Amino acid sequence: MPKVEIYDTTLRDGAQAEDLSFSVEDKLRITRKLDELGVDYIEGGWPVSNPREAEFFKKVRKENLSRSRMAVFGSTHRPRHKVSEDLSMRAILESGASIATIFGKTWDFHVKEAFKIPLAENLEIIHESVRFLKKHMEKVFFDAEHFFDGYAANPEYAIKCLEAAAQAGADCLVLCDTNGGTLPGKLAEAAASVKKMKSPFGIHAHNDSECAVANSVAAVGLGASQVQGTINGYGERCGNANLCSIIPNLKLKMNVDSRAGRSLDKLTEISRYVSEISNLRPFKRQPFVGDSAFAHKAGVHVNAVMKHPGTYEHIDPELVGNSRRVLLSDLAGKSNILRKAREFKIEMDEKSPLVGEIVRSLKELEGQGFQFEAAEASFELLMKKALGLHRRFFDLAGFRVIVEKRKEGEPSVSEATIMLKVGGHVEHTAATGDGPVNALDNALRKALEKFYPELKEVKLQDYKVRVLTAGKGTSAKVRVLIESGDGKLKWGTVGVSENIIEASYQALVDSIEYKLLKEED
């Protein structure tokens, strides 16, 4: 089985993504997770670029990494500077890392326009920089910046740049699609020329043409022994090659071995962990590790998957630490309902006419604007009501919400008054809040907590409103989705009405009833 090294550059190239900034502690936490996954190299950053990068390298030395090795990033020495006195070279040596990756120009356009030096001088810079570092570092990788654009413009010179690095002792020549515009066919042409050099080569692809993963996988097929990329494809502009897709593709589709490929079952967890640290919402439709990667909505699909998952799944989701999901919508059939019943631990006879009734109710409610994909707790309550497994914990005798603006320039004040019947007792109370929905939520809890103290554990974690009927202005129907949690579980509930307070009340009541029913299970 051929073997490929995985080189992760999330901490450096990934951190160049818009809306993303890592603290030193963030980078250390991600480093530990990447070590768990088993990537061969973790690129820590470019210490000459800012003090935070230098601080990271000081702290990461204290980490006991068991599977991965740290690499430091930098550039070839600057024109008109001695290599031994160059700031980038010195920062690399002072980082404490034993592996260095340096980038150099391989596109004659950049040499002439950015460096404004003769082409021959650039070859000397590459050779001197690699040779200098090889005297002090265990390994030196040469990132051939803009290699594919350079090869397209002047193939002879682009290859000469690689030869300069190879002759100086570079351990791997990494072909960079820096602008991300290369298609797999053109990549194959350039890689064929590099392969003739008999030097180890790698691939570093960007995703501006949506080909970064395809180019990376194609390069391995053409002989690349190292793949560079980032977790979740984070990176500048449209991002880098996504290791969360590359690693399983290599292992499961190409039978290519990598150390990280032996820990595939950690992939989804690590993908979401890095999203959380990055303060970015995970991309639901991301292949392999996304929430929707193995989600089935159409009744025909669900029916087939229940008989054999291979009918609509290209791999077993558990191989990458993910799971199969069956979605609820107006496209659902009896198979969706039966599958959900099993998930909810509800006993249901597949021949029962109640299955068809629940399907009809689901389709009718979805037609009214309800959506249960993100509100499965509401759907579980709907099923239990249909099956006679639900009981009422309280009855509403009435509520009123007042929003008062007392003075220009000051925030409005919201107050909710509610009356509930719990058993034979009537509870009448009021509460204020940050807005009318929060006031209603506070009043509802205040009224119920003396009867059901377990509700004190419940926190409203997310609240979303969607306007459903465009063109009706302020009289439009709205859908409210609420996410609640109690420290152990999270659940979603939904409400729909032309009145946003009423829709919110529906979702809030479902959230409370779901918690109370779970306490009885």
pLDDT of amino acid 331: 61
Q: Yes or no: say if 177 and 206 are a contact pair by the CB < 8 Å rule.
A: yes
Task: Tell me: pLDDT of 97 over 70.
Answer: yes
Pairing type for strands 201-205 and 172-177 reads parallel
Going by pLDDT thresholds of 50, 70 and 90, the confidence category of residue 15 is very high
Task: Tell me: pLDDT of 473 over 70.
Answer: no
Task: Tell me: pLDDT of 254 over 60.
Answer: yes
**How many other C-beta atoms can be found within 10 angstroms of the C-beta atom of residue 307?**
10
Alpha-carbon distance of 376 to 387, in angstroms, equals 16
pLDDT of amino acid 48: 85
Share above pLDDT 70 across residues of the chain, in percent, rounded to a whole number = 97
Alpha-carbon distance of 282 to 286, in angstroms, equals 8
Query: What is the location of CATH 3.20.20.70 in the chain?
Result: 5-278
pLDDT of amino acid 294: 93
pLDDT of amino acid 474: 60
Average pLDDT score over residue span 242-250: 98
Q: Is the dihedral of CA 74, 79, 83, 84 positive or negative?
A: negative
Q: What is the pLDDT of residues 190-236, one digit of tens each?
A: 999 999 999 999 999 999 999 999 999 999 999 999 999 999 999 99
Query: What is the location of CATH 4.10.430 in the chain?
Result: 295-353
Mean pLDDT of the chain: 92
pLDDT of amino acid 378: 92
Write down the architecture of domain 369-391+452-521 according to CATH. 2-Layer Sandwich (3.30)
Alpha-carbon distance of 345 to 295, in angstroms, equals 20
- Cross-strand bridge partners of residue 101: 73, 141
Looking up tokens 């980490």 gives 63
Average pLDDT score over residue span 430-436: 93
Alpha-carbon Rg for the chain in angstroms: 29
Task: Tell me: pLDDT of 472 over 70.
Answer: no
Q: Is the dihedral of CA 156, 162, 167, 168 positive or negative?
A: positive
Alpha-carbon distance of 328 to 94, in angstroms, equals 56
C-alpha angle with apex 188: 186 to 194, nearest 5 degrees?
Answer: 110
Task: Tell me: pLDDT of 116 over 70.
Answer: yes
Looking at CATH, the fold of the domain delimited by 5-278 is given as: TIM Barrel (3.20.20)
* Domain 295-353 = CATH 4.10.430: yes
Secondary structure, 3-state, 134-190: HCCCCEEEEEEECHHHHHHHCHHHHHHHHHHHHHCCCCEEEEEECCCCCCHHHHHHH
pLDDT of amino acid 324: 86
Q: Is the dihedral of CA 342, 347, 353, 357 positive or negative?
A: negative
**How many other C-beta atoms can be found within 10 angstroms of the C-beta atom of residue 180?**
23
pLDDT of amino acid 470: 59
Helices (H) and strands (E) in the chain, counts: 17, 16
Average pLDDT score over residue span 62-83: 94
- Coil/strand/helix, residue 434: coil
* DSSP letter string, 266-280: GHHHHHHHHHHHHT-
Query: What is the location of CATH 3.30.160.340 in the chain?
Result: 369-391+452-521
Predicted TM-score of the model (pTM): 0.74
Listed in sequence order, the residues at least 6 apart from 483 whose beta carbon sits closer than 8 Å to its beta carbon are 374, 460, 461, 462, 463, 490, 491, 492
Listed residue (257, 174, 255, 252) closest to 216, CA to CA = 174
pLDDT of amino acid 363: 82
Task: Tell me: pLDDT of 330 over 60.
Answer: no
